[in-house]
């Protein structure tokens, strides 16, 4: 895929003009793409020779030798059996071009270029995005932002429910689902200092370019962090939001009460979940936050290794007794990074630390959100148990929808329940503020 450091860096750091929105052809490696000054239809068309190269790398991938002859369990990462299963499926059954055709048939995709001259990042930002308009005359513009290790594919199973709801008693939406720069088919930022604040500026510029002067927001994981920054930057344009990943740092009083066994059941659950994440599950974050380039070399050279890297997080979303992620889903999700190179997806964690979303080994203090916010929680996600009283320290949180099933990738794994939450929250015109659209 990349034969030397120079070609790797050329593929991952692409320079764009900083002052004008000039058309840019083929700024991404391995795929045909053009990013003009206004939205234009886009079809995924990955170069066959790149897919052949990926297949060859998967063929030659070296498995681990079990240290001391024992087989490590999931506490150390994906198992050796996961490696073999994924490799065999990739070589014997997986067909990228069938997946590519299915995505193109399902999702209406576009590219454009935006600028945010009122931000600290004034360079051109090429974007890839999904845009489905509802046939309902009263439809509300909704910005849907994905997370890590996901992509724009997270919107696939929920988008029809939002554009064409079951009846007129619930709201309908015009859905815009961009790829965060460095993910999917939005090229990685061409300069440093592009993090959640800057992404918020880019996505607001995209909504304005689409003539959605006011809009609502739904996001999880990175989308939940970008929400906090975008809401603070654009209080007049971003009307209201639903977050399925509202995370915050317990304060000193919370921790003192926890040490004294004075916290409620929900508070105890949340603190223990955060502690478990920091101690046992956040190794990926620290590496991506501190050494993204080092990791980028390894992941760029080994598509199978990278697929297992993100599967280590994807598997945490699976409920006991439920269907697991299929090998095909794992491979397709990993290719949403591998095609352009995974460095951009890694490096946003470094920028998030710069913007105080992370602090020390835990979570930081993102901006306060003044707009009305609804929060949805599921048991297999990091935010479970966080009390609404704590949420209100960092934002105008009005309601929490608690579920007894589901996890981190709510839109993809629990589309019906997330759609119901979206209907309920934005359908309450007074509480959510969506009366401005009527």
Interval 371-409: pLDDT, tens: 999 999 999 898 889 999 999 999 999 999 999 989 999
Specify the range with the lowest mean pLDDT, choosing from 61-70, 89-98, 145-154, 210-219: 61-70
Contact 198, 120 (CB under 8 A): yes
Question: Does the pLDDT value for residue 320 go beyond 60?
Answer: no
Mean pLDDT of 98-104: 98
Which residues, including other chains, have CB under 8 Å from residue 95's CB and lie 6 or more apart? none
Q: Which residue has the higher pLDDT, 123 or 12?
A: 123
Contact 340, 187 (CB under 8 A): yes
Question: Does the pLDDT value for residue 22 go beyond 60?
Answer: no
pLDDT in tens, 111-162: 999 998 888 899 999 999 999 999 999 999 999 999 999 999 999 999 999 9
Q: Which of the 8 DSSP states describes residue 359?
A: E
Query: What does the pLDDT read at residue 105?
Result: 98
* Residue 402 φ/ψ, nearest 5 degrees: -105, 135
Question: Does the pLDDT value for residue 219 go beyond 70?
Answer: yes
- Percent of the chain past pLDDT 90, that is, above it, reads 77
Cα angle, residue 258 at apex, residues 256 and 259 outer, rounded to 5° = 65
Mean model confidence pLDDT for the chain: 91
Contact 190, 14 (CB under 8 A): yes
For the chain, how far is it from start to end, CA to CA, in angstroms? 52
Which residues, including other chains, have CB under 8 Å from residue 69's CB and lie 6 or more apart? none
One DSSP character per residue, 299-355 reads HHH-HHHHHHHHHHHHGGGPPTTSPPPPHHHHHHHHHHHHTT-THHHHHHHHHHHHT
**Rounded Cα distance, 110 and 129, in Å:** 5
12 to each of 47, 274, 303, 337, how far by Cα in Å?
17, 33, 16, 11
pLDDT in tens, 287-318: 999 999 999 999 999 999 999 999 999 988 76
pLDDT in tens, 347-364: 999 999 999 888 877 788
Question: Does the pLDDT value for residue 18 go beyond 50?
Answer: no
Query: What does the pLDDT read at residue 12?
Result: 40
Query: What does the pLDDT read at residue 2?
Result: 37
Query: What does the pLDDT read at residue 367?
Result: 94
Q: Which residue has the higher pLDDT, 108 or 119?
A: 108
Specify the range with the lowest mean pLDDT, choosing from 9-18, 44-53, 71-80, 163-172: 9-18
Query: What does the pLDDT read at residue 21?
Result: 52
Question: Does the pLDDT value for residue 35 go beyond 80?
Answer: yes
**Rounded Cα distance, 150 and 267, in Å:** 28
Question: Burial letters for 275-305: b for 16+ Cβ neighbours within 10 Å, e otherwise?
Answer: eebeeeebebbeebbeebeebbeebbebbbb
**Rounded Cα distance, 85 and 77, in Å:** 15
Query: What does the pLDDT read at residue 3?
Result: 39
Mean pLDDT of 167-183: 97
Kindly list the domain boundaries of the chain, sorted by start residue.
Answer: 1-438
Per-residue confidence at 7, pLDDT binned at 50, 70, 90?
Answer: very low
Per-residue confidence at 14, pLDDT binned at 50, 70, 90?
Answer: very low
Q: Domain 1-438: which topology?
A: Rossmann fold (3.40.50)
Write out 32-53 in H/E/C secondary structure: CCEECCCCEEECCCECHHHHHH
Query: What does the pLDDT read at residue 319?
Result: 59
**Whose CA is closest to 234, among 220, 249, 214, 219?**
214
381: Cα within 13 Å, side-chain hemisphere: 29
Query: What does the pLDDT read at residue 349?
Result: 93
Mean pLDDT of 56-74: 83
Per-residue confidence at 77, pLDDT binned at 50, 70, 90?
Answer: confident
Question: Does the pLDDT value for residue 186 go beyond 50?
Answer: yes
Query: What does the pLDDT read at residue 335?
Result: 98
């Amino acid at each position: 895929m990349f034969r030397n450091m120079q070609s790797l860096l050329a593929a991952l750091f692409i320079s764009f003009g900083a002052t004008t929105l000039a058309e840019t052809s083929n700024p991404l490696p391995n795929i045909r793409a053009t990013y003009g000054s206004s939205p234009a239809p886009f079809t995924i068309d990955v170069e066959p020779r790149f897919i052949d190269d990926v297949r060859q790398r998967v063929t030659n991938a070296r498995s681990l030798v079990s240290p001391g002859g024992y087989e490590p369990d999931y506490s150390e990462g994906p198992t050796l059996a996961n490696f073999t299963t994924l490799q065999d499926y990739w070589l014997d059954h997986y067909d990228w071009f069938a997946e590519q055709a299915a995505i193109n048939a399902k999702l209406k995709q576009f590219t454009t270029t935006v600028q945010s001259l009122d931000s600290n990042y004034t360079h051109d930002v090429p974007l890839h995005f999904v845009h489905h308009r509802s046939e309902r005359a009263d439809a509300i513009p909704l910005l849907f932002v994905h997370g890590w290790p996901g992509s724009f594919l997270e919107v696939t199973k929920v988008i029809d429910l939002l554009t064409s709801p079951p009846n007129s008693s619930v709201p309908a939406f015009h859905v815009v689902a961009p790829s965060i720069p460095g993910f999917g088919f939005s090229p990685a930022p061409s300069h440093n200092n592009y993090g959640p604040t800057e992404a918020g500026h880019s996505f607001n510029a995209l909504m304005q370019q689409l003539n959605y002067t006011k809009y609502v927001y739904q996001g999880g994981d990175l989308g939940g962090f970008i929400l906090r920054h975008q809401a603070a930057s654009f209080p007049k344009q971003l009307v209201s939001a639903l977050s399925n990943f509202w995370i915050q740092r317990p304060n000193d009083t919370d921790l003192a009460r926890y040490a004294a066994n004075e916290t409620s059941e929900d508070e105890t659950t949340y603190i223990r979940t955060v502690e478990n994440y920091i101690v046992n599950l956040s190794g990926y974050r620290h590496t991506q936050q501190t050494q993204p380039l080092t990791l980028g070399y390894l992941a760029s050279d080994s598509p199978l290794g990278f697929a297992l890297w993100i599967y280590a997080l994807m598997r945490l979303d699976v409920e006991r007794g439920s269907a697991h992620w299929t090998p095909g889903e794992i491979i397709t999700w990993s290719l949403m990074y591998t095609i352009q190179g995974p460095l951009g997806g890694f490096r946003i964690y470094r920028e998030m630390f710069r913007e105080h979303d992370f602090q020390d080994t835990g979570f930081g203090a993102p901006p306060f959100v003044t707009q009305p916010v609804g929060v949805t929680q599921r048991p297999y996600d990091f935010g479970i148990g966080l009390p609404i009283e704590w949420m209100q320290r960092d934002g105008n949180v009005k309601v929490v929808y608690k579920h007894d099933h589901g996890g981190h990738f709510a839109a993809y794994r629990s589309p019906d329940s997330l759609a119901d939450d979206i209907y309920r929250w934005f359908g309450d015109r007074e509480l959510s503020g969506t009366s401005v659209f009527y």
